[in-house]
Structure 1
């Protein structure tokens, strides 16, 4: 097998067509984060984006997107932002993970949400999580029927709160594909406030993340698109979501709502409207990502699939050095995530830090309604994996 490593922007029409066909032939690769469009967008905002093109003779048999973290170490392209990672390939592909890394000039490759059916990387997984899915293969009525069959009252309760929102504030409306930049900016601002209030690291504090999201918002074709949806009450935005969509799958990425309307469960209202519209467009599933720590995902899911995280290391000096740098932190992280008591303590600590910084910032500026701000503390940053 021949492996050549290039930047995503160097992919030609032949490669892009082959990439799309592989995703169409294997539905578990339909995640839009595995699309060439995502790799191309990342390549425009960071310098380390790469893709290995795998050939067997004259045939292209796979694409392995990754992001350089050093001279010989890498992670998934887009790093911790990516909610779908792995190798895009033809059916029946056989290869060795360590040999692939060697051909790419890598000593280690870290993954965080590896999609299923990636047998080359499975032996290197250190943690497995269930990713919550809203199954729309039977249409929206099929989805709500599945929820009802498992004893859920979330649809009934959410519709009641939506009607109350309409009575109290004004007519509720929904837009599935919002293109104006001001709405995207509002969702980003809400999400930044939410991160800070929870004591988490603000994703949008990094300029390249904002640039990436803005670029993806402008990307819109039949196979891959940025998707911004909004819920309004009396014309006022109360909830929004920006994510990525392929012709098969919508992945939720940045769902958020105005906390002023929290009692109406605007996030659940948003998700139900998104599901109804997506199903009408032929989308088969909404993948909400790992459900650990998120009750709303557990309430809305009708099935799940496994994703995993871990690291592939080649037996080399660079691989050993990577192990020494990362393994102690990874073990401490797993200990907290696997212990409900420790997880709860870490989560509460970060929320208290967020509240303290919010009060401190409001006091300094003398503005009572100012959202939380400031840098995240070292303690909160250390547990930023809990988001």
Structure 2
């Protein structure tokens, strides 16, 4: 079934930043430099400086681009769970069906679709890790996390750049960074894939409720009035606490 089947259900149009890596890391650097207002030397220099510091302080960096180590996978789950608890106050990975999905992705290696666990070590210490979804020559950047003990060394940037450098050897030509405007996505992206967002349900009012909630969140995040309302609400909460 073509995705165009759902075209009339689309209510919001967004995009997903991508890293175009065909031709290798130097070709990627040139694409980054060719974008108006982008300075590829900045991100490459930042990552280079972080590499030198962590190798001086901790140990030589080593990337396992496609790790099959169950201990590394469990470490990713533990680190991501800690991150969710600290930022959301709850841990979605505690739900059996969510954890089961991650287990299945990690275990899947046959066919054009597979899970891709990439792990960055400094000496013998795990610094950062990522579980992604691979389809042919593309990888969707999905669960990326790091050990907070190494936060001063920009471990997420080190891992993502290391993966970009290793992509050609793994037959990967594109990283899909996923919807969002986080600073690292804006720094690494060389293009974008258009996305359509909507909802389909039976009864139809459920989809309308989901879309109304999405529109509210979008208004709060993207409009001046929304940001003022959020800041005012936070101020009231702090005063009442």
Q: TM-score range by the shorter chain?
A: 0.7 to 0.9
Taking the aligned partners of 1:324 and 1:310, their CA distance within structure 2 comes to 9
More helix by share: 2
Q: How does 1:174-189 map to 2 (within 5 A)?
A: 174-189=63-78
Q: Judging changes above 3 Å, is the alpha-carbon distance between structure 1 residues 226 and 141 closer, same or farther for their aligned structure 2 residues?
A: same
Of the three residues 304, 307, 310, the one matched with 2:192 is: 304
Deviation, structure 1 residue 345 = 7.6
1:205 maps to: 94
Residues 331-364 of structure 1: per-residue CA shift (max 9 Å, x gap): 32232233267469869x99xx9xxxxxxxxxxx
Q: Which 4+ residue blocks in structure 1 deviate beyond 4 angstroms?
A: 343-347
Taking the aligned partners of 2:90 and 2:224, their CA distance within structure 1 comes to 22
TM-score by length of 1: 0.55
Q: RCO (CA 8 Å, sep 6+): is it higher in 1 or 2?
A: 2
> Could you list the runs of 5+ residues in structure 2 that have no partner in the other structure?
none
Superposition CA RMSD, Å: 2.5
Number of residues of Structure 1 aligned to a counterpart in Structure 2: 230
- Greater Rg over alpha carbons, structure: 1
2:125 maps to: 236
Deviation, structure 1 residue 121 = 2.4
Taking the aligned partners of 1:172 and 1:340, their CA distance within structure 2 comes to 43
1:151 maps to: 39
Taking the aligned partners of 2:225 and 2:65, their CA distance within structure 1 comes to 39
Of the three residues 144, 149, 164, the one matched with 1:275 is: 164
Taking the aligned partners of 2:217 and 2:102, their CA distance within structure 1 comes to 28
Is 1:217 the equivalent of 2:106?
yes
Q: Judging changes above 3 Å, is the alpha-carbon distance between structure 1 residues 211 and 140 closer, same or farther for their aligned structure 2 residues?
A: same
1:162 maps to: 51
Residues 280-299 of structure 1: per-residue CA shift (max 9 Å, x gap): 2221200010122x111111
TM-score by length of 2: 0.85
